[in-house]
């Protein structure tokens, strides 16, 4: 029996956008076997992927590994290498929207788009698929399209069936991301033994607190490389690594690429996505 042929359908594609952002591409993939696993892909844009049929896995270089079922949606981030696809021997159907711009960077800075958040779930599928298609097709003006997508993202995040993070977890994440304290110090600050804190944190996020803290520092390093021309030494100094060699070793252990290899894969101005 031959596998079903993939059926791609581009719903929308644009070469220009508004000052605050743009929708780059949107489409529907049926009988999709997933993206290439090695090397992991660096997209260079944000993307929302909504799974319509099938089940599989999402993995990223910052340590996230999530199981996916129909009705789940997840986000891809510009600088984070990732892979996703259906279970071995199967295919799935997905709808995706690729987007970029400073307004979505603000969403990310405010925690509304979070690379460590588990996939969210939306049903009924037919309703949300229609809403996703309408968000890129209803408006013809680039600025109105971006505003329409923001409105839909707000609705989808509110409607998804994930519970809000417990207060202690949100606080611990902030402390691990922004403070110099170790995971053990964060555990004490939240009134827990380290073993209990580590177990509860890993159960809620999918990764241990030490790994979470490390990947967030590397995530900030990726953002620096994407936004500025900075050396490894400058990044090491800004993010409190021991030196540039410690930073380079840590970066490769998390991303799977050296900083130089990562820079070579980043999109350059004028290069089409």
d(CA 13, CA 159): 27
Tens of each residue's pLDDT in the chain, 273 residues:
344 566 677 877 877 889 999 999 999 999 998 887 888 999 999 999 999 999 999 999 887 888 898 989 999 999 999 999 999 889 999 999 999 999 999 999 988 999 888 888 888 888 899 999 988 888 778 999 999 999 999 999 888 855 455 678 888 888 888 766 889 999 999 888 899 889 888 877 778 898 888 888 888 888 888 777 788 999 988 888 888 899 999 888 888 888 888 888 776 544 433
Residue ranges and CATH numbers for the domains of the chain are 7-159 (2.60.120.280), 167-265 (1.10.10.60)
178's tokens: 């922004």
- Which of 80-110 are b and which e, b meaning 16 or more Cβ less than 10 Å from the residue's Cβ? bbbbbbbeeeebbbbbbbbbbbebbbebbee
φ, ψ for residue 16 (rounded to 5)?
Answer: -135, 170
d(CA 84, CA 155): 25
């Amino acid at each position: 029996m031959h596998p079903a042929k993939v059926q791609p359908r581009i719903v929308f594609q644009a070469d220009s956008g508004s000052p605050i952002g743009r929708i780059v591409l949107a489409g529907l993939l049926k009988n999709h076997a997933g993206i290439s696993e090695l090397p992991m892909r660096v997209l260079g844009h944000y993307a929302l992927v909504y799974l319509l049929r099938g089940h599989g896995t999402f993995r990223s270089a910052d340590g996230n590994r999530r199981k996916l079922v129909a009705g789940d949606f997840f986000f891809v981030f510009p600088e984070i290498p990732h892979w996703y696809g259906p279970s071995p021997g199967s295919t799935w159907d997905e709808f995706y929207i690729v987007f970029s711009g400073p307004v979505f960077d603000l969403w990310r800075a405010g925690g509304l788009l979070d690379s460590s958040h588990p996939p969210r779930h939306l049903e009924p599928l037919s309703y949300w698929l229609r809403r996703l298609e309408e968000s890129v097709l209803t408006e013809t003006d680039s600025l109105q399209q971006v505003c329409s997508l923001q409105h839909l993202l707000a609705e989808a995040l509110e409607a998804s069936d994930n519970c809000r993070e417990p207060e202690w977890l949100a606080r611990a994440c902030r402390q691990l991301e922004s403070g110099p304290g170790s995971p053990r110090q964060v555990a004490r600050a939240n009134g827990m033994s380290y073993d209990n804190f580590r177990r509860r944190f890993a159960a809620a996020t999918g990764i241990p607190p030490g790994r979470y803290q490390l990947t967030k520092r590397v995530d900030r390093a990726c953002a620096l490389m994407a936004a500025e021309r900075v050396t490894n030494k400058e990044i090491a100094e800004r993010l409190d690594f021991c030196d540039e060699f410690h930073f380079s070793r840590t970066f490769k252990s998390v991303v799977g690429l050296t900083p130089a290899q990562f820079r070579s894969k980043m999109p350059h101005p004028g290069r089409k996505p």
